[in-house]
Amino acid sequence: MLMTKKQFQDSIRARNPMNVWFLGKKIENLTAFPPLAASFNAISKVYELAQRPAWKDLITVKSHLNGEDVSIYNAPLRSAEDANRKTRAARALAEVIGCCTHRCTGSEAFAGLGPACYDMDHDLGTHYFERFMTFLDYVQKHDLTCTVTVTDVKGLRTLPPHAQPDKDMYVHVDEIRDDGIVISGFKCNQTGILFAHEIVIVPTTNMKPEDKDFAVACAVPADSPGITFVLGRTPQDKRFFEVNDDIEGIDLGKKYADHQALVYFDKVFVPNDRVFLCGEVKYVGRLLSYFTAVHRLTAGGCKAGGCSALCGAASLIADMIGVQKAGHIRTKLTEMSMTAETVYGLSLASGVEGFQHPSGFWIPNPLMSHTCKYTCTKIPFDAVRYARDILAGFGETAPSEMDMRSAGVGSICQRAFNPGNPDYTALDRLRASRFIEHMVRGSNWTAMALHGGGNQEASTVMARMYTDWDYVKELVKVAAGIEKDTAKAEEFLDSIGKRKGRICNYGDLPKIDKN
């Protein structure tokens, strides 16, 4: 059953005490801790919107497992339509909260685990798929927030997991018991993890047989014993203390944000019914292929939403200070708008050009998804540059809200910062300026575009792997008459018209439609 915002907040408050640290001190009450207030507000908003009739069709869906209305973040993608809904939801939510939804990554872990478990059962005779679907059913029925922990801290990148002098550089299995496994190790950069009910752990990289201990996928409640969290910094985290957790404070830029944390699993027990891969090294690559195909599709949706908001903020500033008609400003704003549409388009297209896995899960077109994420690591940075350009120097160095409102210098500051446009006040200009500041250098929004879901090189490596190099060469051999075998050329010509996913090579990924 879907939780209301209040039920969600109560469920988070009802968790067991967690070992969470920030600035050298233990956080006693997560939901009342100022630097986490905007993050708690963001995920609460996602729950609130799921109850609003106008959002229902976008972010909830009827479960094929139990027939209930469930969050799209707990439901597998089963068609191109589902994939497109995920893109649209990511964009729409980003247009509201301008940060991570806190719920996406869990859904992407499920998108990776479902087909990977199915493949293992098919090839190895294991029973992971049923176990996984039972877990998913539980998550759906309780409307839980799940977060995926993929990124291990990795130490020296040239050493594989088993060769690291400190084994905890990658999460690994310490012990296999009759009733479950015990795991240890670090994961970093974990978005939204402090407000998750469940942590889904998957490996970060392909593995060789020697790395068997590190090939583990499982789920643990976020409040399990043995887990330590250290909240990461953002440039503006101390401002939350200044505004005394009043997240309406103008200097925060906006009242929604996400958070990231370092996580240490210290001999955490995982019962068997929550273990979805344990030692099957060969299937780690598959799991990651399925996972990244969906994760990198989502990046295009949420970056599109962020770019729309950034474009809106820059456009407002231009109106305020009277430069909206200048040719170069119009060009820059239009480029920002086209940036949003480019990554949105790639995300939608990778859903449409995907394929059905025998498990029933829909896999977006991997080449397009990796291209989508690759593009997210690049063009939003031009949008960021344009927004800062239009913001102007005084927008970047503006006095604080406290000075703007102070008895001593308030009137001086407000006079100086008044844009001169009778439709707007100095405080309106400060609001729009801080919004831009939040997105471009106050929060981790740009870090998310660059690294979240994989960096430029990680996307490039996968895009290279999923490009059908033989096909693109054969195209030209046939077109240019280099192919001398006429029958082969004719057969190839017919295959072009029937081909789905164009130049994508699906490798050994099992799919129902063989075209």
Tell me which residues touch ligand FAD (CB under 6 A).
105, 148-151, 154, 157, 189-191, 260, 444, 447-448, 451-455, 457-458, 461
- Backbone angles phi and psi of 361, in degrees to 5: -70, 145
Decide: helix, strand or coil at residue 71.
Answer: strand
Nearer to ligand FAD among residue 123 and residue 457 (C-beta):
457
Sheet holding 19-22, edge to edge: 25-26, 19-22, 227-231, 260-271, 180-191, 172-176
Q: How far is the CB of 373 from ligand FAD (least distance, A)?
A: 10
Residue that has been written with the tokens 């291209």 in this structure: 371
Gyration radius of the chain over CA positions: 24
- Backbone angles phi and psi of 127, in degrees to 5: -130, 45
Contact indicator for 11, 195 with CB cutoff of 8 Å: no
Nearer to ligand FAD among residue 426 and residue 462 (C-beta):
462
Q: How far is the CB of 258 from ligand FAD (least distance, A)?
A: 8
Nearer to ligand FAD among residue 364 and residue 452 (C-beta):
452
Residue that has been written with the tokens 């195209």 in this structure: 475
Nearer to ligand FAD among residue 156 and residue 487 (C-beta):
156
Q: How far is the CB of 153 from ligand FAD (least distance, A)?
A: 7
Nearer to ligand FAD among residue 4 and residue 460 (C-beta):
460
Nearer to ligand FAD among residue 430 and residue 448 (C-beta):
448
Contact indicator for 184, 268 with CB cutoff of 8 Å: yes
Nearer to ligand FAD among residue 38 and residue 150 (C-beta):
150
Measured at the CA of 410, the angle between CA 404 and CA 415, to 5 degrees, comes to: 90
Nearer to ligand FAD among residue 97 and residue 432 (C-beta):
97
Has 467 been labeled as part of a binding site? no
Phi-psi region of 455 (alpha: psi -120 to 50; beta: other; left: phi over 0): beta
CB atoms closer than 10 angstroms to residue 334: 12
- One-letter amino acid of 392: A
Q: How far is the CB of 185 from ligand FAD (least distance, A)?
A: 13
Q: How far is the CB of 103 from ligand FAD (least distance, A)?
A: 11
Nearer to ligand FAD among residue 233 and residue 488 (C-beta):
233
Q: How far is the CB of 219 from ligand FAD (least distance, A)?
A: 14
Return all residues near 24 (Cβ < 8 A) that are at least 6 apart.
none
Contact indicator for 293, 371 with CB cutoff of 8 Å: no
Residue 465 to residue 358: CA distance in whole angstroms: 22
Residue 184 to residue 173: CA distance in whole angstroms: 7
Element (H, E) at 118: helix 104-124
Nearest to 166 by CA among 156, 175, 158: 156
Nearest to 304 by CA among 98, 1, 39: 98
Nearer to ligand FAD among residue 389 and residue 457 (C-beta):
457
Nearer to ligand FAD among residue 5 and residue 154 (C-beta):
154
Q: How many helices (H) and strands (E) does the chain have?
A: 18, 14
Q: How far is the CB of 381 from ligand FAD (least distance, A)?
A: 14
Q: How far is the CB of 283 from ligand FAD (least distance, A)?
A: 19
- One-letter amino acid of 456: Q
- Backbone angles phi and psi of 302, in degrees to 5: -75, -30
Q: How far is the CB of 452 from ligand FAD (least distance, A)?
A: 4
Decide: helix, strand or coil at residue 283.
Answer: helix
Q: How far is the CB of 269 from ligand FAD (least distance, A)?
A: 22
User: What sign has the CA pseudo-torsion 52, 58, 62, 63?
Assistant: negative
Nearest to 232 by CA among 259, 199, 269: 259
Q: How far is the CB of 448 from ligand FAD (least distance, A)?
A: 4
Nearest to 198 by CA among 269, 274, 265, 99: 274
| Residue positions forming the annotated binding site | 191
> Which residues are documented as binding site for FAD?
191
